[in-house]
Amino acid sequence: MAMIVLVFNMSLFAQDGYVLSGTVLDGANMPIPGVNVLVANSTTGTATDFDGNFQLKVKRGDVIKLSYIGYITQSISITGQETISVVLAEDASQLEEVVVVGYGSQKKSDITGSVSSVKSEDLNAFPLANAEQALQGRAAGVVVQSNNGGEPGAPISIKVRGNTSIGANSSPLIVVDGFVGATMPQANDIESMEVLKDASATAIYGSRGSGGVVLVTTKKGKNGRLSVELNTSYSLQSTSNRLDLLDADEFAAYQQSFRAYEQGMADTDWQDLIYQTGTTANHQFSFSGGSENINFYASANYFKQDGIVVNSDFEKLTFLSNVDAQVTKKLKLGMNLFGSRSTKNGVLTQSTGENANGGGDDVISLAFRFTPDRGIYNADGTFTQNSVGDGIENPWAVANELINETKSDNFRTNLYANYDILDNLSFKTTFGYSTLNETLGQFKPQTFQLSIGYASLENRRRTNLLSENYLTYNAKIGKGNLTMLAGYSYQKQSTVFFGALTQELLSDDFLFYNLGAGQLQSRRVESSFSEWEIQSQFGRLNYDFDDKYLLTATVRRDGASNFAENEKYAIFPSGALGWKISNEEFLKDNETISNLKLRASYGVTGNQAISPYQSLSQLSITPSTDVNTDPSVSVAQEANPDLKWESSYQTNLGLDLGLFSNRISLSLDYYNIDTKDLLLETAVSPAYSGAVDLEVYSNVGEINNKGFEISLSTKNIYNDNFSWTTDFNWAANRNKAVKLNNGDIIDGAAPGYFSSGKDTYIIREGEAIGLFWGHDYQGVYQGGDLPAGTALKESYNQAGDPLFIDVNSDGIINTDDLKTIGDPNQDFTFGITNNFSYKNLDLNIFFQGAVGGEILNLTNVQLYNGDSNALTDIQNAWTPTNTDTSIPSAKIRDREISSRFIEDGSYIRLKNVALGYNFPSDVVEKLGVDNLRLSVSGQNLLTFTKYSGLDPEVSYFGSGGGSTGSSNVVQGHDFGNYPTIRSINFSLNLKF
Amino acid sequence: MKTYKYLFLLIGLSIVGCSDLEESPITEISPESYFSSLSLEQVEGFTSGAYAHMVHRNFMSREMTQALMYRSDMMAIGRTGAQERIDMDNFTVQADNALIAGGSNTYWPKVYQIIGAANEAIKAGKLLEEEDEAVLNEVIARARFARAFAYFHLVRQFGDIPYLGDETLLSDAVLAPRTPAAEVYENIIADLKFAKEWLPNTQVSRALPAKSAASAYLADVYLTLEEYQLAYTEAKEIIDNEGLYNLGLEPDFQSLFNSDKSDISIEPIFVLHFTGTADGDQGLDYQAAFTGIRSDGQYTNANGEPVGGGWSVEVPSLAVYTTWDANDYRRTVTFDDKALQNGVLRSYETFTDGDGTAVNRPHVAKYTRMGNGTSTGTNFRGSKSNYYMMRYAEVLMIGAEAANELGIAADAEAWVNRVMARSRAGGIITGGINDGTVIAPSAIPADFSGLDQDSFRTRILEERRLEFAYEMKRWYDIARRKLGATAFGPNGLESVVSTESGVGPGPKSFDPSRDYLLPIPISEILINPNLTQNPGY
């Protein structure tokens, strides 16, 4: 802190002298904005404005240094001149983009693996609640999705190159400034994000590399200028879509068409009641700067979102500070500090049916299914309940009366020291600590008819300790360039959990802050502790010969505590070759081809993302009954001493091509990933073994992912006033279950209360992962003879009932007639960004889409079930007089998983349009600021899709059937998602 | 500054732990640590584990009860049309029925968890050599009783089943074929005999088996196997020693369905005792919720507030009520034909006017009255009910039925008529809108007198149906006496279609060659292909 104050002092009270005015131009006489102008050996400095102009207080004898990325730094002695004009020459070696890789960085042209890079400009094209979202549609082969539509504070899932796992977490490893497994900083604080995709790039992270690695670099202070920046934005949000449901009269008529039903007095549009206009405010304040010896960056960020569903909001306060100090010529020290506090007020969405009183505890699915002829309250002031089907509270009550609050405190610090032992040998050691303290409070008042009140408070504290130590060695051997890295790493994570709950509190006013006021018998406490360690040795060798031939070899040996006795350690090697053909004599002077490189890599990475203690045999404790006051014990699970890592064997072939001085640059990548020893929590023993936890982790088989990725960037028009650039990326992935030791895996992700037909997907040898599983719908039975190959269910065998394919031709539809009925895997995904700039105006248009993935519309399964409100389509249901329809007759049937509810989920979406304006320098000067930018943008303004549900970007995982309930295998299910939002956003950026 | 200072700093920073990566969980308990200091306490722990599983939702609280209720002719679907229930009711069950296979709310695994914990207890008990034999064997006897009790349910429902004893190796069991039912019964009988030998004459709670519980279950097993002499002998021994075992009939039939009174009654022999405390679905009772009338405010919770009714999920067909003599006190105790919905008193014909999700038929009152005034959860859940697994009236009737088969008419009549007499005596209704109503003695049900063997048999099965209505006995009677063709035929109690709720009673697809047994869950056959399936599935 003292250092920072010092820096302030020095810049504010610079020495006497006079003001020098200058202009900085490039070789084409175009002004260069943002050039650092610094008085040597001082901290006095400034930067050029948009017109390349600067003013700086100097005195005779000073030397000023002008520096800018991609240009050769120039020093100019001050001899009393009042104005200067400087032309900076381009630096061919620096022009090259530098890309962060594991434990180091490399010139982009020297990369032999597959790495996608997203820079700060793209990150901030529009305001983001989560920085992860910036990767969507911008990095080929990286699929990014909110886990719950537009919910404030919803987690974001990232998938790199398909599903390399079915039962273990295969999210990419997030590494922030070298801290492995860190939480993502705010988008405004990020300088760049690199996604490492192939084994050559990820194998240095060994057992955690198979899901890909996202390397995040936060902003650092720049030499010589104190910059204070203020970003503020405000958005208005609304639902992007609504369902067309029956009103009260239509609903009563529908019910009366098949049973006695007395219409209620009200006419309520429940969607109207639970939706509102949402708002988002985001304010960021940062200051940064530095001298030759010390750089700093510090920022504070405040984000607040009121969701589009009543009573859902998210608030987050984030602080970040980076300090780097060159203590001596050889020693550099630095520290990153990150702290955040967030509060999420959630409404219940994405019902699993587990928590439901007879079903339906989430406001979204409730708003769809709840009867429209009931109001919010009964005459006696109590909340209404559904008039058909299971007794459920009304959605307004659920949205407003329940409290579901998560408070998270996140703190992380990482200290590093880098010491240059020799000119070409350095040692870096980092020591980091992070803690996540999360408190979840849940409260249900006694005003619910189905509730006597419930309150619980849970706390989870997770700490991480990380130490990494590595040597880096560089050598020039003839025409060759050798870089070697060797290191050791240790990480430990501990989690302490405790929670308490009670029911029937003395007063609803206590919320969850006085659990002692609950009824004695219903009080429950629990606590747990778990710990996990990983220790590793790693090394890398990069050799580049004559800037033409590139070799990368990495190896990591990991040992992790959460693996079984016999399988604690594993080695993950990789190798890659690159050939810069464009540097060969025959292409060196080619005017068209400015860059051509071939890349090939092969390597092994792992996945050990399972909780601790999974391989041990365990007993379970059951709470006491009154007769036996001591807790009772039974067998929980059997040991698996051979439980081991999932290993992914990945081949990558790539080509980079640059044409016309890289105005067109193209990257093509093909990959093939064989993942073996798949981890899956599955029933290995039959239920009659008597174990309480029948599903235990074991290694069950192999899957394969292969795919193709294209990234294309073009500078279409590039002149003084107008520029137009296009970035396009496209990726296709095909996956397949190669081997399943225990045969088909059939499981379900429908809400628990769907009861029969809960199974919704299958994993089967030779097929893609997670195909939909159900009956094949063949339209409505018209009575009389059955159409060939079809049959009816035993319980629904009247005219008007649904016909299905009779798979085993036994004349009856039952579970023997289930088959694959759809494929949720997308054929390809793509993103296309166009950036236009004209003078001070800039325009960003970003489309993103996916083609080919099918969706299982579980919402419709519920809405056509009879015991629920329905879509207006039900008015076209089969009747003896309306036989030409595909909708079976109105009546109560089981919730049927069938091809009737499978839809094409292809879409293309205008993800963002943003128009920005940078005020001209003469205007901003008058205002006393360096830069002023206003922008307006719109997100999700247009979506083109045939999908009939709310939104084709679905992410319902449901009850997941217990074991395989993860985004890896539960794909394309739609039920009770928080709706995707459409927003209009206004932003202001101010720089001093 | 000198370079070595920085080197020193670097070394300081880079000091890191070196670990053997061994896992030593604190929260989870491992068998090694549990058995490392083996004592009677560990055997007790597993034994308690077996009994704790019996009060989980997946056993008699809800899932297995549904199968037994719906498959009988006494219970029909109420309002909710969950397919696994409809299939149980209509005999259209398949091997993946959600009550037995797959998912988390299935009872087949839960019954085996009772067995698994009991096996661990027995195994642990055998390792304890120094312990006092009587003390140790009493604990093991409780475990063996639990194991027999669990297998007796399974063998009656599924026939040949995988039998795992305390010495069975899991590695063998996962590949073993089904054990023939006869062998399962032999093991059950061995367990019950051991239990009878070592259990005390009385226990502090009827939720713990005493000698009479083992004996009564032996009688029940023999009756099921049509070993009438053995059944008679077991029953007679209990009846002759009713004082020693502290058994007798509760004078007022209603008192059995009042948790305050049933807790101190001497009629129960073995109960599942819910205590009003639940951890999730562990210890949570559902029958009052399942059988109660929607929006019925006549019963109260632990705080004396209206409990808000049940779910009208299990609602008998109307014929059960209308064919039951109105002067039989047991009908008055068994049914609620009136409800207090939102303050309005309604008769069953108009229940749906009070709540559209109710059903216009009389609802079962045994569980709602038992839960009255005790529940801490919603819809009666978290009550202090006792679910009767075996009560003394059943011992009397098992004895009578066996005696009749053996031609010992005197004992047969004497024993069954004690039960008949208790019903005729009437009593005082407790709980609900009829609380305190005195029901005068009546002539119904008449004593058994001078019936020939066949007529006696027919009548006693009918009386069992009424006496133990909704106590999960009827399906087993239908199955052991092969009454299905009549019970589910055109004149069966459920034959009249009731479509008011869209689902409900109506004609059944009962197939005697298939439906006396349930299918082995498909999920088990997938893991152990050596398991065969029951005929017809």
Copy the structure tokens of residue A132: 């992860």
Which alpha helices (DSSP H) does A855-981 contain, by range? 858-863, 921-927
Q: What is the pLDDT of residue A457?
A: 94
**A8 to chain B nearest CA, in Å?**
26
In a domain, B114, yes or no: no
Peptide bond into B535 cis (omega under 30): no
In a domain, A66, yes or no: yes
Is the minimum CB–CB distance between A137 and chain B shorter than 8 Å? no
Considering only the beta carbons, identify the residue of A390, A452, A755 that sits closest to B301. A452
CA A525 to chain centre: 33
Give A616's contacts in chain B (Cβ within 8 Å).
Answer: 23, 25, 28, 30
Is the minimum CB–CB distance between A328 and chain B shorter than 8 Å? yes
* CA trace torsion A890, A893, A899, A902 (10° rounding): 80
What is the three-class DSSP state of A595? Answer: strand
Q: For residue A727, is pLDDT > 60?
A: yes
Q: What is the pLDDT of residue A291?
A: 83
In a domain, B241, yes or no: no
Q: A571 pLDDT band (50/70/90 cuts)?
A: very high
Q: A357 pLDDT band (50/70/90 cuts)?
A: very low
Q: Is the Cβ pair A633, B1 closer than 8 Å? A: no
How many structural domains is chain B composed of? 1
Q: For residue B524, is pLDDT > 50?
A: yes
Residue ranges making up the domain that contains B298: 287-384
CA B525 to chain centre: 26
Nearest-Cα residue of chain B relative to residue A381: B342
**A441 to chain B nearest CA, in Å?**
18
Give the strand pairing for A425-444 and A454-477.
antiparallel
Is there a contact between A68 and A86 (Cβ–Cβ < 8 Å)? no
Distance CA B298, CA B337 (A): 12
Residue ranges making up the domain that contains A76: 2-93
Q: A49 pLDDT band (50/70/90 cuts)?
A: confident
Whole-model pTM: value is 0.81
* Angle between helix B40-54 and helix B107-127 axes, rounded to 10 deg: 170
Peptide bond into A372 cis (omega under 30): no
In a domain, B379, yes or no: yes
Give the strand pairing for A569-580 and A646-659.
unpaired
Please give the full DSSP string across A291-307, using - where no structure is assigned: -SSEEEEEEEEEEEEE-
Is the minimum CB–CB distance between A496 and chain B shorter than 8 Å? no
Copy the structure tokens of residue B475: 């399906």
- Within 375-394 of B, beta carbons closer than 8 Å to A belong to 376-379, 382
What is the three-class DSSP state of A136? Answer: coil
Residue whose structure tokens are 């119904």: B444
Angle made by CA atoms A932, A933, A935, in degrees to the nearest 5: 160
In a domain, B481, yes or no: no
Residue range A724-748: mean pLDDT, rounded: 89
Q: For residue B449, is pLDDT > 70?
A: yes
In a domain, B377, yes or no: yes
Is the minimum CB–CB distance between A690 and chain B shorter than 8 Å? yes
Q: Is the Cβ pair B53, A387 closer than 8 Å? A: no
Selection from A738-747, A754-763, A882-891 with the highest mean pLDDT: A882-891
**B430 to chain A nearest CA, in Å?**
24
In a domain, B280, yes or no: no
Q: B365 pLDDT band (50/70/90 cuts)?
A: very high
CB atoms within 10 A of CB A674: 17
Q: What is the pLDDT of residue A433?
A: 94
Q: For residue A655, is pLDDT > 70?
A: yes
- Within 407-466 of A, beta carbons closer than 8 Å to B belong to 415, 417, 419, 427, 429-431, 449-452
CA A425 to chain centre: 37
- Alpha-carbon torsion A960, A965, A971, A977, what sign? positive
Q: What is the pLDDT of residue A90?
A: 73
Is there a contact between A386 and A368 (Cβ–Cβ < 8 Å)? no
Gyration radius of chain A's alpha carbons? 31
Is there a contact between A732 and A707 (Cβ–Cβ < 8 Å)? yes
Q: For residue A464, is pLDDT > 70?
A: yes
Q: B16 pLDDT band (50/70/90 cuts)?
A: low
Distance CA A778, CA B98 (A): 25
Nearest-Cα residue of chain B relative to residue A568: B21
Distance CA B187, CA B189 (A): 5
In a domain, A72, yes or no: yes
Residue range B122-143: mean pLDDT, rounded: 89
Please give the full DSSP string across B372-396, using - where no structure is assigned: TTT--SGGG-S---EEEEEEHHHHH
Is there a contact between B141 and B214 (Cβ–Cβ < 8 Å)? yes
Residue whose structure tokens are 């809960």: A758
**A767 to chain B nearest CA, in Å?**
19
Please give the full DSSP string across B182-206, using - where no structure is assigned: HHHHHHHHHHHHHHHHHS-S--SST
Top residue of A628, A633, A815 to mutate, by most chain B CBs within 10 Å, is: A633
Considering only the beta carbons, identify the residue of B30, B116, B162 that sits closest to A634. B116
Give A627's contacts in chain B (Cβ within 8 Å).
Answer: 51, 204-205, 207-208, 273
Gyration radius of chain B's alpha carbons? 26
pLDDT in tens, A378-428: 888 888 888 887 767 889 988 888 888 999 999 999 999 999 998 899 999
Q: A96 pLDDT band (50/70/90 cuts)?
A: low
In a domain, A76, yes or no: yes
Tell me which residue of B300, B324, B295, B299 sits closest to B312, measured CA to CA: B295
In a domain, B375, yes or no: yes
Which alpha helices (DSSP H) does A820-898 contain, by range? 858-863
Q: Which helix (H) or strand (E) holds A675?
A: strand A664-676
Q: A967 pLDDT band (50/70/90 cuts)?
A: low
In a domain, A921, yes or no: no
A2: Cβ contacts below 8 Å, ≥ 6 apart = none
Is there a contact between A131 and A192 (Cβ–Cβ < 8 Å)? no
The CATH number of the domain where A85 resides is what?
2.60.40.1120
Residue range B388-411: mean pLDDT, rounded: 97
* CA trace torsion B446, B450, B452, B454 (10° rounding): 20
In a domain, B360, yes or no: yes
Give A429's contacts in chain B (Cβ within 8 Å).
Answer: 10, 13-14
**A802 to chain B nearest CA, in Å?**
16
Is the minimum CB–CB distance between A683 and chain B shorter than 8 Å? yes
Counted across chains A and B, CB pairs separated by less than 8 A come out at 307
Q: For residue A964, is pLDDT > 50?
A: no
How many structural domains is chain A composed of? 1
CA A822 to chain centre: 26
